[in-house]
Amino acid sequence: MNKIVRPAKAPLGDGLPSVLIMCHSHPMETRGGAEIAALELFRGLKSRSGAAWFLGCAGSKTESRLGAPLTQPYGEDDYVYHPGAEFDYFKFANPDPNFPKALGKLVAELKPDIVHSHHFSRFGVESFAVIKRNSPNTKIVLSLHEFLAICNHHGQMVKTKSMHLCDRSSYSACSSCFPQYKARDFFLRKRYIQTFFADVDLFVSPSQFLADRFHEWGLPAEKLVVLENMPPVQNHGMVAEIDVALPQVAAETEVRPVAKRATRTVAAAPAKSAIAEKPGPAGKAVESAAAAESRPLRFGFFGQMSPLKGITVIIEAAQYLNKQGVTGATIEIHGDYSNQPPAFQEVVTKALDDAGQSIVYHGAYDNRDVHRLMRRMDAIIVPSTWWENSPVVIQEAFTNGKPVICSNIGGMAEKVAHGVDGLHFTASQPLSLARAIMELTEDPVRLAQLTAGVRKRMTTDQALDAHLRFYRSIMTSPVRVEA
Amino acid sequence: MAVPGNIESLAYCPSIGGWLVLGWIGFGWDAEGAQPEATLNFGGRLVVAEPIICVIDRPDVRKVGTGIVMFIPDQRDLKGMPHDLVLRRGDFAFSTPLVSAQQFDPQTALTHGRNLLAHATRSEEWQNLISLLERPLFTGPDTIESFDRPVFMQVDLAFVCPPSGLWLFGWMLDPFATIARMTLRCGGRSAVIDPREWISISRADVSSGFGEQFGGLSPKCGFLAYFPDVYLPGQAPYIEIETVYGEIGFKAMANVRSAGVDTIKDMLQRIDLRYDELVQGYDRVIGPAIEAINTFRLRNEVGYTRMDFGPRVASPRCSIIIPLYGRMDFMEYQLAFFAGTLSPDHEIIYVLDDPTRQRELEFLSASCYARFRRPFTLVGLAENLGYAPANNMGLKVASGEYICFLNSDVFPDESDWLEYMLQTAENDPKVGIVGALLVFEDETVQHDGCTYERLPEFGNWVFCMHPDKGMTSPKVLRVHEVGGVTGACMVMKAELARRVGGFDQGYVVGDFEDADLCEKVKTAGFSCMVDQRARLYHLERQSQGNQAASWRFNLTLYNAWRFQNRWVRNAERSLVLDEPEAVA
């Protein structure tokens, strides 16, 4: 593999690059991880007085105007695209014949230094070719959020029937998951997407794991960088309160080029940190709040109660704890399952009943309350049965100083260091999760060590600096590749 | 020598297949020796036939001649009345206009004829004519089951293959072996039904149903039969069965429909011929029936629309002709892959061979052009024509010096594929057709040129083989001469393609046209090459399956039959066959 050489930390300088940020759903419509990251980036660039524009796709909340693919209902630098034809979600093609012209005209006028696209869905992968045709000097950056380009199963790399984890796509394996498509269709799908990915100058992956998967799929290593998404907006007063206890981490280390790891490090714990090995001042000082109050430990789950988010794993773990008579732990579920299939809702309802005292179901929550709710917990559980990329919930947990117990796979295993700021358990194994929980209930010092091990995450400002440095590196010094 | 006489009445009688003519004629016409010959003139169109003439006593003309009852066979039913009649016998000629002759309806004419013959002199002619006139008439109901020893027959499907063919599928049981003769009649036309000429089909449903009553019956009582020249528009066809006891019965045919492409499928799914059955079955039934349907289908010039997406290429070097049928999205993929890789010197012509998808494809075309900005032309056919005619239509509108016939499921692997092919075509004036190395999506070989081989299980017919199919791709790339090149991707001079008439349209759906074109080009003195430097993916469908009675496979056999007729049987130039293994 080629060795990748990048310029050392580039100074921020005066002139900021002009950036058009694209997002497959306008943040006024929906607030998923990609929308939040894109919006924060836009706001950040604006706050630095940089030239920044936003282009997001309309949903039901934005009225379309006859014959106008682009409108500006939210202000002068903020564009909304109204898709004019049914999108092809198989190969991410946008058949809308009016969009290329509208997008081409827009980039020809704006001539942004950079188009940073936070998804290719709904715009279509062809939009990269349109941008290059109409503004050849513009660099295109694409943030990857899941495995959609690789996997037709909602980009999750989980088999459709067995729901087993999938390690690698192949035309025939993909066709087994989707028998209505033949191997040749998956061949064409990949070719189509890669044809237009060739116009992207750099791919940004928030996790090494995702970057490795895309590299294996065919993206050149020199075009992949690992850069954490912009963090979600926070209640600064509250974060400041937590900040005191958290050790700092250098922001510049967060931008790093991909160097593919030799193997997937699913269960392997990283080297123990100084904190874990020998409790430092912080570890010594902090005794578990629960131990101090002699109450059960509170383990929080936040998010969608879907099978892929591991809701059944967590409920079965609770059932096990209940059966074992473990009284030192309560699992508290914050989330909603009303939009899940009825059969699954039934399973969840029954399972919740069976888990007895070990589980408390709080129901849906407002995302604005997430920090307040998390701070009541002793640890956060992320039991997803798919790989995940860089789950926002882990960022949120760490922002609130809470260790994370997560599945030992993919982006979760990468973001949480086992034995440092959380624990890994074997994915999809409720017993393994139950044991991790019991490890903490039986050893209050262990929880205190992990809590102390949580490092401060990048602030919005630091993350923005990291983005700007990254932009500048594309602008000023094209990526050099040495054999 | 002209003689007097008068024709007083005449009638066309479909049940006996000709004209019944009554009147009188002067002495002298019945000289011994020559056979009589009657000519009916329908205003330029003539019916010439050998008549049967019986003499009857006519006191009113006794001094000048004799009365006659004459039958003139005419199965063509030219509609309308003849203008005049000429009767010749050796030197003797009788000619009369027919304008004043009375026209009878057939029933009246037959009754009148029988009455007159009752008093006539017995002769061989008399015997022939009276048996003709006394033959029971088909009036609609089936009568064969009321024979003393019944015969059972059913025509399940009857298709008219224009202009005059009838393609029948049915069954027949003759438990007492009483059938002496079967005749298919329609209007004045008739054809002998000979079970040795039809394709026998197992109909266990029928034989088991009748088995209880009549004992062990052969399950092969079904038939598929073809009669090329029996149908008359407006006339109901029926079957006449004569038994060894002289009984005559009829079997009607319900639901006679006109044949189309669907008929081919419908009929072909009912047969499963192998080895030598193949030759007779295709020679006598399948071949002529499908030929008739296909010829009729393509008899008229079909209209088309032409839409240009983007500017036309001025004097293109090569015209890429791509027929579209079924998967429209293949065009989207192809154009996406061509954009930015295919030289702008070449024009791309898509030929939509499915008018029902025209609107959908127009939208997709506009969308593709907006997205990829690769100019192309869309030709929309007014009817679904099939592979060869669609390509030929593309050839008609193409303006390139070269033509590249390309399938819609072929996708380039790298950008220079066409340049390599053109280079090979240009380098040697004796090279007629250049093919490419086609691979599957797993990089194994799909096509690297064809060879010809005889297959004993299919009548020892010659088939195209694809050596190395499914094997790993060659490491060292070369340009090599081959027996034939697949139409999925072939380059040739436009002038040569036109000179040999493009693809032969007698093949149906899409088989063998490419091998046929290669043979035409080779016959014209050129060679066929594969340039392995040109590498494309061919995502060939896997649809024929293994079903024994697959209509699609049988259609391939039809195309093979046509190929044999054109290039193997009676061909001046013999094909070079590949013998994969030495003969012991």
Q: Mind listing the pLDDT tens digit for each residue in B171-196?
A: 999 988 999 999 999 877 889 999 99
Which of B339, B372, B400 finishes a domain? Answer: B400
CA–CA distance, B371 with A129 (Å, rounded to integer):
8
Residue B139 in any domain: the answer is no
Query: Could you tell me if A180 and A281 lie in one domain?
Result: no
């024979």: which residue's tokens? B147
Residue A156 in any domain: the answer is yes
CA–CA distance, A206 with B498 (Å, rounded to integer):
59
B337 with A184: Cβ contact below 8 A? no
Look at chain B and report how many structural domains it folds into: 4
CB atoms under 10 Å from CB of A86, counted, come to: 9
Which of B297, B313, B346 finishes a domain? Answer: B297
DSSP B405-439: EE-TTEEESSTTHHHHHHHHHHH-TTEEEEEEEEE
Q: What share of chain A is helix, strand, coil (3-state, %, to 5)?
A: 40, 15, 45
Query: Does pLDDT of A205 surpass 60?
Result: yes
Closest-CA distance, A127 to chain B, in angstroms, reads 8
CB-closest option in A100, A183, A191 to B371? A100
Q: What is the pLDDT of residues A314-334, one digit of tens each?
A: 999 999 999 999 989 999 999
Beta bridge partners of B319: B347, B403
CB-count exposure of residue B161 (10 Å: 0-12, 13-18, 19+): buried
A187 with B339: Cβ contact below 8 A? no
pLDDT of residue A472: 86
> Taking CA atoms, what residue in A is nearest to B335?
A192
Query: Could you tell me if A72 and A221 lie in one domain?
Result: yes
Cα pseudo-dihedral A303, A306, A310, A315, rounded to 10: 90
Query: Does pLDDT of A238 surpass 70?
Result: no
Tokens (6 digits) for A10: 């580039």
Helix axes B287-297, B551-567, angle to 10 degrees: 90
Tokens (6 digits) for A461: 């400002």
Query: Could you tell me if A477 and A349 lie in one domain?
Result: no
What are the φ/ψ torsions at residue B397 (nearest 5 degrees)? -90, -10
Query: Could you tell me if A323 and A362 lie in one domain?
Result: yes
What is the CA angle B248-B249-B251, rounded to 5?
Answer: 150
Residues ≥6 apart with Cβ < 8 Å to B36: B29, B50, B51, B53, B87, B88, B89
Give B208 or B470, the one with higher predicted confidence. Answer: B470
B411 touches chain A (CB under 8 A): yes
Query: What's the gap between Cα A320 and its chain centre?
Result: 30
Once rounded to an integer, what is the mean pLDDT over residues B269-278? 84
Query: Could you tell me if B149 and B130 lie in one domain?
Result: no
CA–CA distance, B96 with B98 (Å, rounded to integer):
6
Query: Could you tell me if B571 and B427 lie in one domain?
Result: yes
Query: Could you tell me if A104 and A49 lie in one domain?
Result: yes
A 322-341 → B contacts, CB under 8 A: none
Query: Could you tell me if B293 and B309 lie in one domain?
Result: no
Tokens (6 digits) for B450: 């064809």
Query: Could you tell me if B443 and B517 lie in one domain?
Result: yes
A318: domain CATH number is: 3.40.50.2000
| A25, A58 Cβ separation under 8 angstroms | no
CB-closest option in B367, B409, B539 to A95? B367
Q: Percent of chain B scored above 70 by pLDDT?
A: 96
Query: Could you tell me if A144 and A117 lie in one domain?
Result: yes
Relative to beta strand B527-538, strand B479-482 is antiparallel
Q: Give the dihedral sign, CA B330/B336/B339/B342.
A: negative
* pLDDT band, very low/low/confident/very high, at B579 (cuts 50, 70, 90): low
CB-closest option in B336, B369, B373 to A195? B336
What are the φ/ψ torsions at residue B220 (nearest 5 degrees)? -80, 55
CA contacts within 13 A on the Cβ side of B225: 26
* pLDDT band, very low/low/confident/very high, at A271 (cuts 50, 70, 90): very low
Residue B261 in any domain: the answer is yes
pLDDT of residue A280: 41
B371 with A184: Cβ contact below 8 A? no
Greatest Cα pair distance in chain A: 67
pLDDT of residue B517: 97
A173 touches chain B (CB under 8 A): no
Query: Does pLDDT of A245 surpass 70?
Result: no
> Taking CA atoms, what residue in A is nearest to B331?
A188
B373: domain CATH number is: 3.90.550.10
Residue B545 sits in which domain range? 409-584
pLDDT of residue A268: 31
* pLDDT band, very low/low/confident/very high, at B459 (cuts 50, 70, 90): confident
Give B135 or B441, the one with higher predicted confidence. Answer: B441
CA–CA distance, B348 with B294 (Å, rounded to integer):
29
Q: Which residues of B touch A182 (CB under 8 A)?
A: 542
B465 touches chain A (CB under 8 A): no
| B14, B28 Cβ separation under 8 angstroms | no
| A53, A21 Cβ separation under 8 angstroms | yes
DSSP A338-390: TTS-HHHHHHHHHHHHHTGGGEEEEE---GGGHHHHHHT-SEEEE--SS--SS
Query: Could you tell me if A326 and A344 lie in one domain?
Result: yes
CA–CA distance, B255 with B235 (Å, rounded to integer):
13
CB-closest option in B339, B364, B542 to A95? B364
Query: Could you tell me if A196 and A107 lie in one domain?
Result: yes
Q: What is the pLDDT of residues A85-109, one digit of tens each?
A: 899 999 999 999 999 999 999 999 9
Hey, what amino acid is at B3? V
- Lowest mean pLDDT across B77-86, B104-113, B305-314: B77-86
Query: Could you tell me if A276 and A381 lie in one domain?
Result: yes
Beta bridge partners of B531: B436, B479
Query: Could you tell me if B396 and B413 lie in one domain?
Result: no
Hey, what amino acid is at B166? L
A 122-141 → B contacts, CB under 8 A: 124, 126, 129-130, 133
Q: Give the dihedral sign, CA A146/A151/A156/A157.
A: negative
Query: Could you tell me if B52 and B152 lie in one domain?
Result: no
| B250, B238 Cβ separation under 8 angstroms | yes
Residues ≥6 apart with Cβ < 8 Å to A26: A35, A54, A56, A57, A58, A59, A62, A74, A80
Query: What's the gap between Cα B358 and its chain centre?
Result: 28
Q: Which residues of A touch B411 (CB under 8 A)?
A: 188, 191
B373 with A133: Cβ contact below 8 A? yes
Q: Percent of chain A scored above 70 by pLDDT?
A: 83
Q: How many residues does chain A have?
A: 483
- Lowest mean pLDDT across A13-22, A267-276, B46-55: A267-276
Residue B197 in any domain: the answer is yes
Q: Report the mean per-residue pLDDT for chain B.
A: 90
pLDDT of residue A272: 36
Residue B461 in any domain: the answer is yes
Residue B332 in any domain: the answer is yes
Relative to beta strand B304-309, strand A224-226 is unpaired
A183 touches chain B (CB under 8 A): yes
Query: Does pLDDT of A198 surpass 90?
Result: yes
> Taking CA atoms, what residue in A is nearest to B371?
A100
Residue B361 in any domain: the answer is yes
A129 with B333: Cβ contact below 8 A? no
pLDDT of residue A149: 97
Look at chain A and report how many structural domains it folds into: 2
Residue A90 in any domain: the answer is yes
CB-count exposure of residue B406 (10 Å: 0-12, 13-18, 19+): buried
Which of B106, B134, B162 finishes a domain? Answer: B134
Closest-CA distance, B368 to chain A, in angstroms, reads 7
CA–CA distance, B322 with B410 (Å, rounded to integer):
10
Query: Does pLDDT of B82 surpass 60?
Result: yes
CA–CA distance, A332 with A355 (Å, rounded to integer):
12
| A244, A286 Cβ separation under 8 angstroms | no
A 68-87 → B contacts, CB under 8 A: 85
Q: Which residues of A touch B332 (CB under 8 A)?
A: 93
B336 touches chain A (CB under 8 A): yes
| A158, A385 Cβ separation under 8 angstroms | yes
Residue A79 in any domain: the answer is yes
Residue A53 in any domain: the answer is yes
Query: Does pLDDT of A261 surpass 80?
Result: no
Residue B126 in any domain: the answer is yes
CB pairs under 8 A between A and B: 52
Query: Could you tell me if B37 and B54 lie in one domain?
Result: yes
Query: Could you tell me if A174 and A225 lie in one domain?
Result: yes
What are the φ/ψ torsions at residue B69 (nearest 5 degrees)? -120, 120
Residue A245 in any domain: the answer is no
Kind and range of the H or E run holding B347? strand B347-352
Query: Does pLDDT of A284 surpass 80?
Result: no
Hey, what amino acid is at A443? D
Q: Percent of chain B scored above 90 by pLDDT?
A: 63
Query: Could you tell me if B346 and B427 lie in one domain?
Result: no
Phi-psi region of B443 (alpha: psi -120 to 50; beta: other; left: phi over 0): left
Once rounded to an integer, what is the mean pLDDT over residues B550-556? 89
Helices (H), B135-234: 204-214
Once rounded to an integer, what is the mean pLDDT over residues B81-105? 88
Query: Does pLDDT of B583 surpass 80?
Result: no
Residue A34 sits in which domain range? 3-236+460-482
Q: Which residues of B touch A83 (CB under 8 A)?
A: none
Cα pseudo-dihedral B186, B191, B196, B199, rounded to 10: -40
Report CA-CA distances (Å) from A55 to A32, A115, A206, A218.
Answer: 16, 10, 21, 28
- Lowest mean pLDDT across A224-233, A421-430, B423-432: A224-233
CB atoms under 10 Å from CB of A88, counted, come to: 15
Helices (H), A149-288: 171-177, 183-197, 208-217, 236-243, 274-277, 281-285
Tokens (6 digits) for B530: 């594969």
CA–CA distance, A204 with A254 (Å, rounded to integer):
12
> Taking CA atoms, what residue in A is nearest to B337?
A195
CA–CA distance, A270 with A34 (Å, rounded to integer):
29
Q: Which residues of B touch A100 (CB under 8 A)?
A: 370-371
B200: domain CATH number is: 2.60.40
Query: Could you tell me if A55 and A151 lie in one domain?
Result: yes
pLDDT of residue B13: 86
Residue A339 in any domain: the answer is yes
CA–CA distance, A351 with A307 (Å, rounded to integer):
13
Once rounded to an integer, what is the mean pLDDT over residues B287-314? 95
Once rounded to an integer, what is the mean pLDDT over residues A105-125? 96
Query: Could you tell me if A232 and A376 lie in one domain?
Result: no
DSSP B348-392: EEEEE--GGGHHHHHHHHHHHHHHH---EEEEEESS---HHHHHH
What spatial distance separates the first Cα and last Cα of chain A, rounded to whole Å? 8
CB-closest option in A126, A171, A182 to B371? A126
What are the φ/ψ torsions at residue A332 (nearest 5 degrees)? -115, 120
CA–CA distance, B49 with B69 (Å, rounded to integer):
15
